[in-house]
Amino acid sequence: MSQPGPPEQGRPRTDPQEPPGTLDQTAQQNLIQQLGRALLRSVPPAWNEVSVEYRAVGGHAEIAAQLVAPNGTLIPLTTPDEVRALFSRLRHGMHESERGTWLSAIYRLRRPSSYSVDFNGDYEPTWQTPPPKDAFAEELHHYPRTGENIPGWLAQRAGVPDASGSATRAPALRTAEVFDAVDQSGRPQTNRAEVNAAELDGLANYLDQAPLVLAARSYDTDQLDPEQPASVPLTFHTDGAWIWPGAVAYYLRKHGVPPEDELVEHIRKTGFRVPEVDEHVRELAVTVITGEEHR
């Protein structure tokens, strides 16, 4: 199965005379609709879905796109300059004085005309090209946030001290889902890149061997084979950057269900070696899973 092509890169395009955070909800929706029209003009006649991810921090920006053909094949897509410019304007205009602005956005367009947009303002995007070191401080200069809204990874990369004077603070943890959705019959569905057979064991071992932070004594029913005895582990693991249910490794081994694309890319970048995870981060992971406030 084809993989998305290399991202187009460059500096974000914004109107230097326009201050950040000036777009109201109506203006935001107008830009999002313009994005959809620009994408429609750039796709070939035969397609089922188009997804575009724009990632930016400071003066660094990159964009990657792909379409799903009617036969399910993923095809890399080159986007027009207009799409990058619209994303940049949207990011600039959506700045909030306390929370900053988003760092990545995924725009999905489905035939014939439905769409969805997911914005991420807390987690570090999976960069195709590492941003320059000064991009992180530049981000906080142009799009400032209050201290409690600066993610740990961004504070550390930008050299921002916390209240104790340290430039490190708790990392933001991303949570992976086992499936993407369910169909009308209730059967789970995913729309993810297939895992290369040569990487399957490495991925599954990483998912299984990462520190266990929560576990139940019982097992869950296999949603893809409900007639079998309950065998899906009710556990959660973390590697200090991501949190995932033990079911992610189970469905990968048992049914070949790939984990989320960004989690797979993250594991590849580690060389399939689980890093050390200190006790503080493990405790933080538990609070994320249970929804309790971390202190």
Would you state the pLDDT for residue 1? 35
Which residue type does 252 have? Answer: L
- Which pLDDT score, from 0 to 100, does residue 285 have? 86
Residue ranges making up the domain that contains 72: 8-128
What is the token pair recorded at 35? 């994005």
Q: In which element (H, E) is residue 205 found?
A: helix 197-209
Any domain includes 121: yes
| Residue 126 CA: distances (Å) to CA of 162, 201, 221 | 25, 22, 32
Q: Which of 208, 179, 213 is nearest to 267 (CA)?
A: 208
- Who's near 244: CB < 8 A, 6+ residues apart? 175, 176, 207, 236, 237, 238, 259, 263
Residue 1: inside a domain: no
Q: From the CB of residue 64, how many other CB atoms can be counted at a distance below 10 Å?
A: 22
Burial of 162: CB neighbours in 10 Å, binned 0-12, 13-18, 19+: middle
Residue 103 · residue 121 · CB < 8 Å? yes
Would you state the pLDDT for residue 284? 81
Alpha carbon 244 to its chain's center: 13
Sign of CA dihedral 90, 137, 239, 269: positive
| Residue 148 falls inside a structural domain | no
Which domain CATH number covers 111? 3.30.500.20
Per-residue pLDDT of the chain (295 residues; tens, 9 = 90+): 334 444 555 555 544 457 899 999 999 999 999 999 998 888 888 888 899 999 999 999 999 999 888 887 888 889 999 999 999 999 999 999 889 999 999 999 888 778 889 899 988 888 989 999 999 999 999 999 988 888 888 988 888 765 444 444 445 688 999 999 888 888 899 999 999 999 999 999 999 999 999 999 899 999 999 999 999 999 999 998 899 999 999 999 999 999 999 999 999 999 999 988 888 788 888 888 887 443 3
In this structure, the answer to whether residues 107 and 178 fall within a common structural domain is no
Task: Read off φ and ψ for residue 246, nearest 5 degrees.
Answer: -60, -20
CA distance 172 to 124: 8
Is there a single domain that holds both residue 22 and residue 121? yes
Spatial separation of the C-alpha atoms in residues 42 and 107, rounded to whole Å:
14
Angle, CA of 116, 121 and 123, to the nearest 5°: 105
184 phi and psi angles, rounded to 5 deg: -65, -25
For residues 282 and 274, give the distance between their C-alpha atoms in angstroms, rounded to a whole number: 14
Indicate the number of domains in the chain.
2
Does residue 153 lie in a domain region?
Answer: no
CA-only gyration radius of the chain, Å: 20
Whether residue 128 contacts residue 7, with contact meaning beta carbons closer than 8 Å, is answered with: yes
Last residue of a domain, one of 102, 128, 154: 128
pLDDT value at residue 68: 85
Q: How high is the pLDDT of residue 82?
A: 95
Last residue of a domain, one of 70, 99, 128: 128
120/181 same-domain check? no
Q: Which of 78, 139, 137, 157 is nearest to 103 (CA)?
A: 139
pLDDT at res. 111: 82
Per-residue confidence (pLDDT) for residue 257, from 0 to 100: 96
Query: Residue 164 domain-assigned?
Result: no
Same domain for 13 and 96?
Answer: yes
Question: How many Å apart are CA 216 and CA 148, to the nearest integer?
Answer: 33
